[in-house]
Amino acid sequence: MPIILGVDPGSRITGYGVIRAEGRLIEYLDSGCIRVGEKPMAERLRVIFQSLATLIGEYRPEEFAIEQVFMARNPDSALKLGQARGAAIVSAATSGLAVHEYSARQVKQAVVGTGGADKTQVQHMVQALLSLSRPPQADAADALAVALCHAHMSQSVRRLSGAGRVRGGRVRG
């Protein structure tokens, strides 16, 4: 069963979620937040990079999924978010992982059923889907939602790629 590391990047708090997924069977492994606070930006990026490298070394994920940048009203915030995403992506790429990116709308659609869901709805559905005793912290829930989105999308792609196979003169789907 493939292990998926999902990441919700942030310049102050980066959420992460680790699941194991095989078909409809999804198992929660870990989640949490990398908190970097008010350090200089270069130090924050180093902490994000190294913390994710440590998680990758510990869990050995086969898949890495991250939320895409959305356009914030504040260009400085968007730039910092992009830098945090870059540190996370380089950490995954350095470990040999392919990077899969999903928009916030795609993640919410996959987990909640509507692309306009709020953070509370995402937390509730992540808790329910993973049978957690309590809702995860918001950034960790978002990262778990990214991992769940990737699990669903990967399964759909596998199903579709096998749908057109012909065996014994019949199309199997």
Residue numbers belonging to the annotated binding site for Mg(2+): 8, 67, 139
Of the residues 27, 58, 139, 142, only one is catalytic, namely 139
Q: Is 133 helix (H, G, I), strand (E, B) or coil?
A: coil
What proportions of the chain, in percent to the nearest 5, are helix, strand and coil?
Answer: 50, 25, 30
- Residue 30 buriedness (CB in 10 A; 0-12 / 13-18 / 19+): middle
Of the residues 8, 22, 58, 63, only one is catalytic, namely 8
Q: Is 139 a catalytic residue?
A: yes
Instruction: Please give the structure tokens belonging to residue 115.
Output: 């692309």
Nearest to 61 by CA among 147, 133, 160, 121: 147
Nearest to 80 by CA among 45, 122, 31, 116: 45
Q: Is 8 a catalytic residue?
A: yes
User: Binding site: what residues are annotated?
Assistant: 8, 67, 139
Of the residues 43, 58, 67, 118, only one is catalytic, namely 67
Residue 6's DSSP bridge partners are: 17, 65
Q: Is 83 helix (H, G, I), strand (E, B) or coil?
A: helix
Active site residues: 8, 67, 139
